[in-house]
Structures are given as structure tokens and as C-alpha cells.
Chain A
Amino acid sequence: MDKQGNISRRRFLQSASGLTGATYLKLTSPALMTITQAACTAKQETSPFKVLGAREAADFAAIAARIIPTTDTPGATEAGVIHFFDNAFAANMSEQLHAARAGLAAFTAALADAHSGISALNELSEDAQDAFLKTQESSDFFGLVWQLTIFGFFAMEKYGGNKGHLSWDLIGFEGHHHGRWDYPFGYYDAQVHVEADHGE
């Protein structure tokens, strides 16, 4: 995913005063940002989707599951990012959902072209799934699914993914804590006498 990574990095630096310039991957449409505007309520895995059909939800979820796979640690599946997708598409912009569906149709057609008799990504072995995704990673569709996966994985649980803030636990971010943090925060500041600093 070099292409997207480079775009991302370039955008950051172009946006610089650098440091406060929020940066974004190339988007299928800037409208993506507004899709997520409505506050979403967290959903149980068993609850029906708001707008996604079961099959397309499974297809999106299968791609997300390779972007942040389940290994010895949890991934997009366990975080329930598909509920973030569903909430995002439900909140606004039916035309955006339309574009995503068109992208999924093209993706599925390309999959069938590459692997005859295969109609869903997760019918392939994990290695074969990844090999196929590599052929798609420069597409706008993959960029959209990639971004929704990242947002769904790491955004607040109220948006539908990041179940039990498991993504934050994964990376060591105690983001569910709201309030005071006490020093020292890490290994290196613990080595100095922070009390002396307080007393300056």
C-alpha cells in the first residue's frame, strides 16, 4: 500500500504548519467525512444492520479482516468494525453507499476473474486473500474500506466498532480513562525525579 502511504505522508507535510495539520488518506469522496456525522449508538453483534445486507456486510467484513487480521491478538472482526461501516453508511449519503456497493461489485467481479468459482474473498486461503488484495490496494474502493476499517477499529466505541475498546488495549492506549494522569507516564521519565521537577 505504498501509494496510499506516500499520499498520506505527502499530505501531512503539505498541510504543515505541519504539526497541527490533520492529514488524510486519499478519499474516494470527501463526503466520507460527513457520513460519520450522526452520532451512532453502539450495537450488539446480533442486532440487524441498519443499511447493509448480510451478504455485503460479510464481504466488507472479510476485507477488513485482512486489513487488521485476527492473530494471537484481536483484529477488525473482534472489534466489530462492520458495525462502524453500517452506522457510517446509515448516517448519511446514500450515494456514498451506492459508490461503495459499486466498488464491492467490481471487487467481487475481479475476484471471480482471478479465481474462477470464487465469489467471496474469504473462500480463499489467507495467503491467497492477501495476494488478491495486493492487486486491489491502489483502488479507491480499497482506500475507502481501508479508511473505514481504521476508523472503525480505533474510533470511540459509540460509533459502532472498537468493541470494549479492544483496539486501544491492543496498542497500549488507555483512552477510556478520562481524567488525571499521574507522573511518571513512561519508562524514561520514571528514571528522573519527577518530584523535583514539580517543585521547581
Chain B
Amino acid sequence: MANEVRFDTRKEVDFAIIGSGSAGGILAKELSTAGFSIVVLEQGPYRKAQDFTHDELSVVLRMELHGGTNEVHGQTFRDDERKVAKRPFLSPVRYARTVGGSSVHFTANFWRFRPVDFKERSLLGPISGTNFADWPISYEELEPYYTKVDWEIGVSGAPGPFDAPRSKPFPMPPMPIKSSGVLLERGAAKLGLHAQPEPHAILSQPHNGRAGCMSCGYCMWYGCETGAKSSTLAAMIPLAEASGNCEIRPLSVVTRIDTNDSGRANQVVYLDAEGNEQAQKAKAVILSANGAESARLLLMSANMRHPDGLANSSGFVGRNLMHNAHSLVNGVFEHPLNDYKGVQVSRIIHDFYESDEKRGFYGGGGIDARPLFSATPILHALEGLPPDTPRWGAQFKDTMAHDFTRQMSIVASTTSLPLDRNNITLDPESKDAWGRPAIRETYRDHPDDLATAAFLEDRCAELADAAGATKAWRYGIHPTTGGEHLLGTCRMGEDPATSVVDSKHRSHDVPNLYICDGSSFVTSGRGQPTMTIMALAFRAADHIKAAASASEI
């Protein structure tokens, strides 16, 4: 890299950014290309496109991109604050630890929020026992940044009947329809619903010097070996590094943010690749570590001045965790779909996006069709078979041989309500492999969230039937015990008593600490949060640039 730059930890950089994912990667690019000096501290290694494989055993089972199983991370879970949290085999909160963060391994379904998502509290009224609230910003305010994501990150798609207004068309046509999309369209047409092309953070054709998707099929959980998936690794980090103002510092495990006597953040303490403690001095700190890690780090950064954790005078750090609930119906069809090829999703249904009081509960969601468990063989053997199929023997083998190419899943993703009881805290006992207090998740779905998932499961079952499935089965509605969508734990708002950051992502308590990632969300949306995380990051960057230029940080 011609412009490779390395900063001395003892010299103040303009910004230390914690996390290189969907938000951190964008902030790094925006601020470094504007001339600010940046160090990005990323806990994972610096994998590049050529490092990604199709190795299901390593990626899916051994959780390579997650940095290993929960033996490494020590996370704990409970469904009630009165219980002692236990350490499950599968980490409750899951994200990629690698440069580019979870934008590297996500499935790249990429919905904008709609205007209603930002003001549902006003439109629908309060929901007792919840922290249901309006966002301090509107769709209209965020729209230019959604468009910036479309064009700079690279989004493929086509307008649908319920889409929010957009100021510019999609930069690329949608990914071509797959058999699962054809079948979903068929089912939708019979039921009077509207299937539309899925927008993707995947290039359907070359864009910004990057190659288009070759439809290898390894999107979900895998890193993209051609860079067609619009991760910040592919789309932003190279531009940040080329600016000559940005150092990406991988294998840097942050342990705390220090503040000085005047209450300002002044350095970020971390363990380097050798496990030695380092401290990067910075004029300002941007925390973009994700909705679980950002909350953990703020809580770990408690000091005399901030006894309950940094930026936590409201007590809202870690609270209002939202995962989005899901439901799932699998179907087998007469002819091969070979849906393991190509992107996961090619058609979605948004007829049930908005909450409808006639249903008797709050919530809404989207439906898609995708291979899911028939994307790869081990996953299929573990999870994809009909419930009445024996788990071993000739019929087991023959069912796999028949079903693998003939199955698809119809999947609903839904709202989650923000609740005090759903939160990230520090486990009092468990530690991660670096000795940090482990993430403790406490979560129990609001009844409306499960009711929405059940309502949509019924719709998925109808769709499977209408699409012509020869056999279909439900996976059932179960309490959420973790997830990948890590939202709401440092929510934005104008009232410092009920939010952690203001509408420009500046923390209410620490003037030179910004927090921008999924934790900023006030409500959960309908299940595809990354587009909104990225739009928020572009918007935050503009506000941070303006404040820094005016010497107001």
C-alpha cells in the first residue's frame, strides 16, 4: 500500500475509531479522506478477499470469522435478571471479528427503513412497559445517506410497491431471480400479495472499480472472495488507507476508554497482538464496536467520574437490546431449485411490514425465500430435513439426496420492542480469552414480538402451500436466546435522561466521545438493519466533520 501510514500511540490522532465494521469502516473512510488522522482499532485479524474460503466446517461449524466458539468469548445468557446467567455452547451475540466486521460475513439483504420506522410511537401511541419511542431523526433526514450507501457502498435492487421514496435510482439492477424467488412470486400472486426484488449489498455488475457477483453462493456467513459483497472491507477500507491518513490496526482488543480530569476521552487502552497493553491517544474517540461490544466497553470503562460506566448517566447503556424475531417454514418442491447457487434471497414480500391494530398486537415484518439450510451440505444434514425423517439410516441419506436441491425456506423477520429487561451487562464471573468481563445477555421477547412472529409464520406456511410445496413444515415459535442483530443498547435521543447519544451520535456525557453502530437504533426495524447502520455512519461522519472543523469537539 503506497500510502500506508503508522501512527505513534503516544501522539494524539484526531480520531481513534473502535471497530472497523459497517459503521467504523465508513467513518474511517469519511474522516480520513477529509484529512483527519485516524487509527482504527479492530479486535479481529486483517483478512482480505483472497483469505476467504468455502470451507463449511471452518466457517459455519468452527465459526472462523467469529473468532471461534463461545469457549473463546465466554458469553452468558439468561432470560430473567433474577437468574444467574449460564454459558451456552453457542455465543448468544454473534458477529464477525475481522477487518470489516460483520459486513464481511452478513447475507447482504439490504432494506432501507421506511418513514414509519422513525415515528411509530407518534403514529401508534405508547406501548406500556416498553421504551417504544420515536427516533430523533426522520426518514427524510436520513434519505440522502441511504442514497450515499447505495452509490458508495454499492447496492443492487429495483423499486418495490411499498418502498420509501428515494432521491436517486438504484445504481445497479437487482440480482437475477432464482427458483426460490419464482416460487415465492407464484405463492404471492395466488394470495394477492406482492413479491418484489430483494435489494442487496452485493454488486450485480461492476461498480466503483469492483467486480460484479459471480453467484458462487457463499454469502451467508462467508467472506466474499471477489469483493462483490459490499462490505466495508471491500468498499471503504481501501479508500481510507489510500488517503494516507488512516491506519487500520488489527488484533487490537480494546479494554477501556480513558477520560481525563475534565471528563474528556483522551486515550483508548487495548491489548496488542502479543497481549501487551497499549494506549492510543486521541483528540476524540468514535465507538463503533457493535450493539453488544460498544455497550460492554462503556461499562468496562467505568471510573471515579463515571461509576456506572462511561456515557451512562442515563443508565441506558446496554438497555433496549433488540434482535428482531424470526419465523421459518421449509418446503420441498417437485423439481430441483439448486438454490445453493447465487445470493440467498431474490424476492421479498413487504405486505405485512406495517403494524396493524386489527391483528391485536404491535409489530410487522418482511418475508423472503432462500435456500437457508439447503445452502450447504452439513447445514442441510443438521437442520434441513423434515421432522418426520429419521436422523440416520437409508431413509436419512435418501431424503438428503432428494431434498438438498429441492428445498427452500420461507423466512419472516420482525420487529422487536425495546425493553429495560433486555440488555447487555458484564458477567460477574465469566471472562473472555483476553480476560475481559464476558458479555452477559438478558433477553425475553415481548409477547407482541412472538405474536408477530407467529402471525408471519402462518403467512409463510400459506405461501409455501400456494407456491406448490409437496411438503412443508414449520420450525415453530421459540423465545429468542441471542442473535446477530445487535440493536438499541446506546440509543439516540435528545433527552439525556432516556438516551445515550444525541441525534448526531455525540454522547450526552462525554463531549468528545461519539457512538455509532447498531446500538444507536431507537426501534428495531423489520429485520435487516445493516443498511440503516451504514446510513447513520455516513450521516454521523458529516456531523463529526462539521463539529471538528468548527473546533466544537
Shortest beta-carbon distance from A33 to chain B in Å: 5
- Chain A residues with Cβ below 8 Å from B392 are 1, 66-68, 133, 137, 146
Q: Which of B118-126, B212-220, B298-306, B432-440 contacts A (4 or more CB under 8 A)?
A: B212-220
The answer to whether B483 has its CB under 8 Å from any CB of chain A is: yes
The answer to whether A48 has its CB under 8 Å from any CB of chain B is: no
B338 near A172 (CB under 8 angstroms)? yes
B482 near A14 (CB under 8 angstroms)? yes
Contact A30 B69, CB 8 Å, known A16-B478, A156-B55, A172-B401? yes
Contact A8 B106, CB 8 Å, known A23-B90, A67-B393, A175-B377? no
B214 near A179 (CB under 8 angstroms)? yes
Within 8 A of B (CB), among A159-200: 159, 167-168, 170-173, 175, 178-189, 191-192, 194, 197-200
B176 near A171 (CB under 8 angstroms)? no
Shortest beta-carbon distance from B343 to chain A in Å: 11
Q: Which of A69-77, A101-109, A114-122 contacts B (4 or more CB under 8 A)?
A: A69-77
Contact A191 B182, CB 8 Å, known A22-B61, A173-B377, A186-B337? yes
The answer to whether A151 has its CB under 8 Å from any CB of chain B is: yes
Task: Report which of B62, B178, B476, B485 forms a contact with A189, defined as CB distance below 8 A.
Answer: B178
- Chain B residues with Cβ below 8 Å from A181 are 214-217, 341-342
A10 near B215 (CB under 8 angstroms)? no
Q: Which of B249-257, B321-329, B543-551 contacts A (4 or more CB under 8 A)?
A: B321-329
Tell me the complex Cα distance, A199–B337, Å. 22
B182 near A21 (CB under 8 angstroms)? no
B335 near A187 (CB under 8 angstroms)? yes
Contact A154 B478, CB 8 Å, known A4-B391, A16-B483? no
The answer to whether B71 has its CB under 8 Å from any CB of chain A is: yes
Q: Which of B35-43, B236-244, B381-389, B504-512 contacts A (4 or more CB under 8 A)?
A: B381-389
Instruction: Say which size band chain A's interface belongs to.
Output: 35 or more
The answer to whether B210 has its CB under 8 Å from any CB of chain A is: no
Task: Report which of A11, A171, A183, A186 forms a contact with B400, defined as CB distance below 8 A.
Answer: A171
Q: A1-B391, A22-B60, A181-B342 are in contact. List 17 more A-B contacts (CB 8 A).
A: A5-B385, A9-B383, A18-B411, A18-B483, A21-B483, A23-B90, A24-B90, A27-B89, A36-B57, A67-B392, A69-B394, A150-B382, A159-B57, A171-B377, A185-B178, A185-B179, A197-B177
A-B contact pairs, 20 of them (CB 8 A): A1-B391, A13-B328, A13-B476, A14-B478, A14-B479, A15-B482, A17-B480, A22-B61, A22-B63, A27-B89, A34-B69, A36-B57, A146-B391, A151-B378, A153-B381, A156-B55, A173-B377, A181-B342, A186-B337, A189-B182
| Residues of B participating in the A interface, judged by any CB pair closer than 8 Å | 54-57, 60-63, 69-71, 89-90, 94, 106-107, 158, 173-174, 176-179, 181-183, 197, 214-217, 220-221, 323-328, 333, 335-342, 372, 376-378, 380-383, 385, 387, 390-394, 396-398, 400-401, 404-405, 411, 413, 475-485
| Residues of A participating in the B interface, judged by any CB pair closer than 8 Å | 1-2, 4-5, 8-25, 27, 30-31, 33-34, 36-37, 66-69, 71, 73, 75, 130, 133, 137, 146, 150-151, 153-156, 159, 167-168, 170-173, 175, 178-189, 191-192, 194, 197-200
